[in-house]
A and B are shown apart, each in its own frame.
Chain A
Amino acid sequence: MTMVDEAWGLEAKRVFYRYEVDETHKVLALAGVDFEVSQGEFVVVLGPNGSGKSTLAKHFNALLLPDDGDVWIFGMNTKDSESTWEIRRSAGMVFQNPDNQLVATVVEEDVAFGPENLGVKPQDIRELVANALEAVGMEAFNRHAPHHLSGGQKQRVAIAGILAMKPKCIILDEPTAMLDPAGREEVMKTIKGLNEEMGITIIHITHFMDEALYADRVIVMNEGQIVMQGTPKTVFGQSHIISQIGLDVPPVGKLSQELCLAGINIDPGALTVDELVDELCQLKSGI
């Protein structure tokens, strides 16, 4: 076992990764990615299709290993094969399609799957499963069949399955892509709660710009590189780069920017409805 320093988070150092399509043809998916995530951070990753988001995510739980450079997960190098299981336990992944992730016929069995695989004692598993389901607000569904749940509920069960392994970090690759608005909000609030209450590090990949507003930090990828990062405010403030690479500023952000252009004296970086309402309501007349 490698020693784990609690202060360490996730780190990618000059990571290059190529997919080998055939002998003559390789696709450069990551072109020198430098990226650090501190313990307890909530990071949202944006970027057009094919920009390397999923490839990067898979590096964080050792599903892929860098061709060049290194990836460190809580102090463990992903190239060190002795650490692979510990890395996968501490940085779990949730994917897009909830139906492909749930395997058991009963919710609690599905959640128990991970700890069982880790060889946890049955009596301890019960408690892990109960706690995990409670953390995602699905305890009342423990005896239900997963296929009868809504999309948002299925994703919460998938998240519980990871929580049952006591991870430090959860990496979610477009977990909301197939959900309706209520399901999306359900999943976003769940992961925000896990981040705030349990200190779990979150890396959330999405095409929904409004989901970036949950983040401490937003990373924008394009063509295998990180092209921008910062708070949602700084990132969406650079609207020319955002639109250049095909992304969008969320509607309220766009409205704030347009109002500023029209000469209204408000913060052009207001991104949420409540922020903009407050900005507008403090404007004084007749000066």
Chain B
Amino acid sequence: MPIEVRNLTHTYMQGTISEVTAIFDINFRIDDGEFIGLIGATGSGKSTLIQHLNGLLKPSSGTVLVDGVDIWSKGVSLKKVRQKIGLVFQYPEQQVFEETVYDDIAFGPKNLGYSQKEVEGQVEEACELVGLDRELLSRSPFELSGGQVRRVAIAGILAIKPKVLILDEPTAGLDPRGRREILDNIKNLHETGISVILVSHNMDDVARLCERIMVLDKGKLVADGPAREVFSQGRFLESIDLKPPDVTVLMEKLRDRGWAVRNDVLTVEEACAEIVKELQRRGVAGAI
């Protein structure tokens, strides 16, 4: 299910005095099984961009191709596109409206016309994937914790069995444990072969999980590449109000002080190994 975006531009309220061009001339291709982090300051166009990938927004100009087919060309079923490319909105708790957790998760597959039996199976499977306790299915979504509601929202999308999962800031506002649990779920889902696009403000999380990073700034795609390459551009990121993970910044500062360490480390473990190695090279006691 490769997705290709060509010269994509979106202008809200076109032709009015309040018109805003939210994304401008964007080009990229996403292949099966990728794990992409989409980062950028608030208002940079992240939510606008991802809503084009499953046809929730129509390009003002440019095209979105899924499996090589322009999703806005005649005869393409957008419903099928949305079944293949699932999108979990930002703050999904604001959109939970069914009476029970089960109904909420079952909403998608029911809508797609699956039989009751199939729906049950898919809900079951989705709960399994996100580690949601069966006991919660009969509860009202309003009784759940923030982290649980996020998992219900993700399960609702997984129940339609997408090939691509897009998550818009899925951990925003959660406590550290809630955040870790959601991220572990997403990581496991990716390992089952689903492509994932994760929108996040947490650079540590994105650096740790994502292989490829796309960076938006004021509606333009200003960087797109392996996480190591993108996050080693500290000065550039700072110029657009972003920052690499602290451990990456630390390595850069050690290099400024003459240390021969890599500047593209992304995790605490990598940083530790790299520093110990350099200390051994310098013959510092304790590091041997």
| Contacts A/B (CB < 8 Å), 5 sampled | A181-B203, A264-B275, A265-B285, A280-B279, A283-B282
Question: C-beta contact mask, B221-248 vs A, less than 8 Å → 1, else 0?
Answer: 0000000000000000000011101110
| A126, CB-defined interface residue at 8 Å | no
B250-A150 in contact (CB<8A): no
Known A-B contacts A49-B175, A177-B173, A277-B254; the reply to A284 vs B284 at CB < 8 A is yes
- Closest CB of chain A to B258's CB: distance in Å? 9
B272-A286 in contact (CB<8A): no
| B146, CB-defined interface residue at 8 Å | yes
A283-B284 in contact (CB<8A): yes
Question: C-beta contact mask, B245-266 vs A, less than 8 Å → 1, else 0?
Answer: 1110110011001010000000
Give the contacts of A47-64 with B (CB-CB under 8 A). Answer: 48-50
| A248, CB-defined interface residue at 8 Å | yes
Q: Which of A178, A182, A276, A277 interacts with B41 by CB under 8 Å? A: A182
| Contacts across chains A and B counted by CB atoms under 8 Å | 112
| A231, CB-defined interface residue at 8 Å | no
B42-A180 in contact (CB<8A): yes
Q: Which residues of B lie under 8 Å from residue A250 when comparing CB positions? A: 246
Q: Which of A27-35, A103-111, A189-197, A253-261 is near enough to bind chain B?
A: A253-261
- Closest CB of chain A to B59's CB: distance in Å? 25
Q: Which of A178, A263, A273, A281 interacts with B246 by CB under 8 Å? A: A273
| A122, CB-defined interface residue at 8 Å | no
Question: C-beta contact mask, A242-273 vs B, less than 8 Å → 1, else 0?
Answer: 00001110111011001100111100000001
Known A-B contacts A49-B178, A247-B176, A255-B247; the reply to A285 vs B282 at CB < 8 A is yes
Q: Which of A49, A174, A209, A283 interacts with B279 by CB under 8 Å? A: A283
Known A-B contacts A150-B43, A178-B172, A287-B285; the reply to A262 vs B268 at CB < 8 A is no
Known A-B contacts A251-B246, A277-B254, A283-B284; the reply to A262 vs B276 at CB < 8 A is yes
B201-A248 in contact (CB<8A): no
| A96, CB-defined interface residue at 8 Å | yes
Question: C-beta contact mask, A164-186 vs B, less than 8 Å → 1, else 0?
Answer: 00000000001001111111000
| B283, CB-defined interface residue at 8 Å | yes
B173-A96 in contact (CB<8A): yes
Q: Which residues of A lie under 8 Å from residue B250 when comparing CB positions? A: 252, 255, 273, 276-277
A246-B175 in contact (CB<8A): yes
Which B residue sits closest to A273, measured CB to CB? B250
Known A-B contacts A180-B41, A247-B176; the reply to A50 vs B145 at CB < 8 A is yes
Which A residue sits closest to B287, measured CB to CB? A264
Which B residue sits closest to A183, measured CB to CB? B42
Q: Which residues of A lie under 8 Å from residue B249 when comparing CB positions? A: 273
Q: Which residues of B lie under 8 Å from residue A286 when comparing CB positions? A: 283-285
- Closest CB of chain B to A145's CB: distance in Å? 12
Q: Given A48-B176, A277-B257, list of 18 further CB < 8 A pairs?
A: A49-B175, A150-B43, A178-B173, A181-B242, A246-B177, A248-B176, A252-B246, A252-B250, A254-B268, A258-B272, A262-B276, A264-B276, A265-B286, A273-B246, A277-B253, A280-B275, A283-B284, A286-B285
- Closest CB of chain A to B77's CB: distance in Å? 36
- Closest CB of chain A to B204's CB: distance in Å? 6
A264-B279 in contact (CB<8A): yes
B42-A259 in contact (CB<8A): no
Which B residue sits closest to A250, measured CB to CB? B246
A255-B271 in contact (CB<8A): yes
Q: Which of B176, B178, B272 interacts with A259 by CB under 8 Å? A: B272
B286-A180 in contact (CB<8A): no
**Docked CA distance A207–B286 (Å):** 35
**Docked CA distance A259–B257 (Å):** 19
Which B residue sits closest to A263, measured CB to CB? B286
Q: Which of B145, B172, B253, B269 interacts with A273 by CB under 8 Å? A: B253
Q: Which residues of A lie under 8 Å from residue B146 when comparing CB positions? A: 49
B268-A255 in contact (CB<8A): yes
Q: Which residues of A lie under 8 Å from residue B178 when comparing CB positions? A: 49
- Closest CB of chain A to B140's CB: distance in Å? 13
Which B residue sits closest to A150, measured CB to CB? B42
| B56, CB-defined interface residue at 8 Å | no
Which A residue sits closest to B174, measured CB to CB? A207
- Closest CB of chain A to B177's CB: distance in Å? 3
A48-B177 in contact (CB<8A): yes
Give the contacts of B36-71 with A (CB-CB under 8 A). Answer: 41-43
| B147, CB-defined interface residue at 8 Å | yes
Known A-B contacts A49-B147, A283-B284, A284-B284; the reply to A180 vs B201 at CB < 8 A is yes
**Docked CA distance A209–B177 (Å):** 12
Question: C-beta contact mask, B159-184 vs A, less than 8 Å → 1, else 0?
Answer: 00000000000001111111100000
Q: Which of A50, A248, A262 interacts with B287 by CB under 8 Å? A: A262
Question: C-beta contact mask, A79-101 vs B, less than 8 Å → 1, else 0?
Answer: 00000000000000000100000
**Docked CA distance A91–B139 (Å):** 38
B175-A207 in contact (CB<8A): yes
Q: Which 6 A-B pairs have the closest CB atoms?
A: A246-B177, A182-B241, A263-B286, A180-B42, A285-B283, A49-B175
Which A residue sits closest to B146, measured CB to CB? A49
Most buried by B among A174, A210, A264: A264
